[in-house]
Chain A
Amino acid sequence: MSRFTAGEVLPDQTYTVTRAHLVRYAGASGDLNPIHWSDRVAATVGLPGVIAHGMYTLALAARALDTWAGGPGHVVELGAKFTRPVVVPDDEAGVQVVVRGTVKNVTGEGAQIALEVTCGGEKVLGMPRAVLGA
């Protein structure tokens, strides 16, 4: 018995991302790549600025799924391509990442959620796929 109905539009989730979040994520995840905290290094590899870890954006999508599912532990599949970087400025305001979800279909296995993850109106995750268990 699923709590979802095919076609249901889930409430948008908007998250603010600042440099402080990226530093915390670097420590918590063990991904210490300096392109996620050093403007100098980001510039040397041709990036427009410090960018969020692709996995940080995917973690935000997971957070939205947990919110829609009513708590953690329901995600049975999650994945995406990292198609566009999320540039995070060195200020207090940061950037906003918006996670939109629509229930694509519901089967005995669970609910497949069509995700759209954007920053500044541009999609940042490609071919996102998410399934919440029954």
Chain B
Amino acid sequence: MPLDASVKGRTFPPTAPYTVSRERLVEFAASTGATYDGGPAPATFPIVVAFAAMTALMRDPSVGIELHRVVHGEQRFLYTRPVVAGDELSATLTVETLRQIGGADIIGTRSEITDAGGLPVCTAYATLVHRGEGS
């Protein structure tokens, strides 16, 4: 079942504020063999908040995505400023594009990631590929 076209253009509620801890940045950097020195976070760290927004989209029963059929096809970040420890981040996701190709839904999302003051930190674009049955 392809997704209903009405999901295109929908904006979902902001995710619950996520407080960036120094410990989490140490763990995130260490997972790639890097060392976190207390300054700016690793560039891809905002995925943690963007992922929460994508999960909310995928779990929303009114959207109709089956989680196990989803593949992360593409990810892009445009940064206004680096994330730092102590930031309180929230992501607001909009479904920008929806196409059907070969039985799969290609879902283009944009998540605006903001800080506690509502100021922009980064924009995360993700393409999710929702494979249909037999594709």
Contact = CB atoms under 8 A, between A and B. Distances in A.
Contact of A77 (B30, B34, B74, B76): B76
Interface string A97-134: 00000000000000000000000000000100100000
Interface residues of B, number: 32
Contacts, number: 104
Contacts of A126: 74
Contacts of A65: 43
Contacts of B42: 59, 62-63, 66, 72
Given A15-B32, A82-B72, A31 B51 contact: yes
Interface string B50-79: 011000000000000000100111111111
Given A29-B51, A73-B39, A73-B82, A79 B125 contact: yes
Contacts of A72: 37, 39-43, 82
B49 to A, nearest CB: 9
Interface centre among B30, B31, B37, B48 (most CB of A within 10 A): B31
Interface string B93-135: 0000000000000000000000000000000010100000000
B62 to A, nearest CB: 23
Interface in B17-54: 24, 27-28, 30-34, 37, 39-44, 47-48, 51-52
Contacts of A63: 32-34, 42
Contacts of B52: 30
Contacts of B125: 79
Interface centre among B41, B43, B51 (most CB of A within 10 A): B43
B33 A28 contact: no
Given A55-B72, A59-B32, A81-B127, 10 more contacts: A24-B30, A30-B48, A63-B34, A73-B40, A75-B43, A75-B77, A75-B79, A78-B44, A78-B76, A82-B72
Interface of A: 15-16, 21, 24-25, 27-31, 45, 53-56, 58-60, 62-63, 65-66, 71-73, 75-82, 126, 129
